[in-house]
Amino acid sequence: MIPIRDTIRSRTTPVVTIALIAVNAFVFLQELKLGPDLDRVVEVFGFIPARFVSWVDLGGSPLDPWRFLPLLSSMFLHGGWAHIAGNMLYLWVFGDNVEDSFGHLRFLLFYLLSGAIAALTLALFSPSSTVPTVGASGAIAGVLGAYFVMFPRSRIVTLVPLFFIPWFVQIPALVYLGFWFLMQLLNGSLELSARAGLAGGVAWWAHAGGFVAGIVLSVPFRNRGSRSRSPAWLA
């Protein structure tokens, strides 16, 4: 299922959402120019759970900025065209209304904090993983979590390919995002039980952690009197 748009119009221009998409696109284009040097960049700026967890054991300082930098830098790197296209589509569909409810600067802080919490969640569930994790999906999962609690009865116009025929349906956000979250939990649990990379390298627990972070953080980050509190916007 591919989200196309939601049914709630933003009252303000989502300048931060647009800027984040632009920055991610710019960084990805720079990645394409790196050639064989890209692996080294991913190794340094991608988030590696085992490196973060064992930083002190490896001789590093507990508060060394280089230990924490990948929590942020990793969310601006992507592994391919499909990876960045899917992430930016979700950010575009769901980000504007959350930004509208939080305000621009609060939304930016919320986005970065959600992404960092998502990475830490991955480290909690896969502390020995040496695979670099990249992508904005953890931060975007936070946006989805906030949208889930603030606009549960919004409808998501969704493309469902049906035998190569495009079929568009409107799905309540509560159902769409609830199903999305359950899939992250299911796949993450299967990956843990299998103890093998059966999930194709997808950071399921980062997604789940970001989503929960978005739900929790939506309370302090939401502007008072934001329209998401009004029943009229839930109709």
Distance, CA of 212 to CA of 59 (rounded, Å): 33
Q: Which residue has the higher pLDDT, 187 or 111?
A: 111
Lowest mean pLDDT: which of 98-112, 192-206, 211-225? 192-206
- Domain enclosing residue 18, as ranges: 2-234
CATH number, domain containing residue 127: 1.20.1540.10
For helices 173-194 and 137-150, angle between their N-to-C axes, nearest 10 degrees: 140
| For range 163-175, the mean pLDDT | 88
Q: How is residue 232 written in tokens? A: 């009229």
Q: How is residue 172 written in tokens? A: 């309540």
| For range 162-167, the mean pLDDT | 77
| For range 158-187, the mean pLDDT | 90
Q: How is residue 39 written in tokens? A: 């692996």
Residues known to be catalytic: 137, 207
Distance, CA of 93 to CA of 81 (rounded, Å): 18
Q: Is the pLDDT of residue 224 over 50?
A: yes
Evaluate whether 46 touches 132 at the Cβ level (below 8 Å). Answer: yes
How much is the pLDDT for 230?
37
What is the overall mean pLDDT for the chain?
90
Q: What length does the chain have?
A: 235
CA 115, 117, 118, 119 dihedral sign is: positive
How much is the pLDDT for 195?
54
| pLDDT tens-digit series, residues 38-69 | 999 999 999 999 999 999 998 889 999 999 99
Query: Which position has the token pair 């959350």?
Result: 98
Q: Domain count of the chain?
A: 1
| pLDDT tens-digit series, residues 72-83 | 999 999 999 999
Q: Which residue has the higher pLDDT, 201 or 21?
A: 21
